[in-house]
Amino acid sequence: MQIVLAPMEGVVDHLMRDMLTQIGGFDLCINEFVRVVDQRLPARVFHRLCPELAQGGKTPAGVPVRVQLLGQEPHWLAENAARAVQLGSPGIDLNFGCPAKAVNKSRGGAVLLKETEQLYQIVKAVRQAVPAEYPVSAKIRLGYDDTALTLDNASAIEAAGASVLTVHARTKSDGYKPPAYWPWIGRIRQRIAIPVIANGEIWTPDQARQCQQEAATQDIMLGRGALALPNLAQCIRSGQAAMPWPEVLQLLMRYSEFEVIGDKGKYYSNRIKQWFSYLKLQYPEAAELFSQLRLLKRNEEILRLLQHQLSLYR
């Protein structure tokens, strides 16, 4: 079983990857996508989105972090894939699943699921640009508006030389609304021979087991579920009990102390509130605290509230 931490734009940054991989259970992380348009990007862009490149392409806990690229031009994606590997990425991931309107409007992410031939050309170009010992993975949804091209897209990605395929078991039009259609991943598994990683609507160990059964694969990717329950990967892998709320508070304080430093501090308020929107799905204490936190705007106020809550458990 491989458990992968999903890339979540604006949520799972290198600090979150650090914390979640320190808790354990993950075999691989995919970073927030690097947007490629019509040029070979400078090294600083890769280092900004994937600081782990400076430490061998791994989190401090030693979990590999694979650079993800998003774009539509095979040549420029290939050029930037080669650069990412030279900078230390242990492979390349290609984003064909992002549902964001702004990304799709500029012909990136999930909109490419309408263009099977373009998927093939992109993966082929990147595979040829990256040394054979480095994996090239791709992430797709089941389709854009429907599943008419699901199996063709998966076959094209395999034929182009991809090492692994991750499937978010919903279409772009489905967004993040439940359910995830895990049996569709099973159908893809019957069509292609490369490893397939199942993604979508895995919030608990029971759902992970159900997904593995219906998708006919042991390999899974966790996204929002890992934010709602920070040790979800360990719960799935080793039967660990859910992390107690006081430990989650300590985790929130660690995250806060790092996030408020420097330029990133201006995003802290939004990021911590976004994290709470997931935590409250698993912890009643988070829901109660969120009702107070959501009204606060200044970092100092939020930190004081978290510190006060933590003091109640000491």
Using CA atoms, how far residue 207 sits from 135, 201, 220, 232, 313, in Å, is 28, 8, 11, 11, 31
Q: What is the dihedral sign for C-alpha 67, 68, 72, 74?
A: positive
Using CA atoms, how far residue 68 sits from 6, 221, 285, in Å, is 11, 14, 35
Token pair, residue 165, equals: 């395929």
DSSP β-ladder status, 65-70 and 28-30: parallel
What does the radius of gyration of the chain's CA atoms come to, in whole angstroms?
Answer: 19
C-alpha–C-alpha distance, residues 123 and 126, integer Å: 5
Query: Catalytic pick from 29, 50, 98, 211?
Result: 98
For residue 186, give the nearest of 166, 208, 214, 161 by alpha carbon. 214
Active site residue 211: no
Residues with catalytic roles: 98
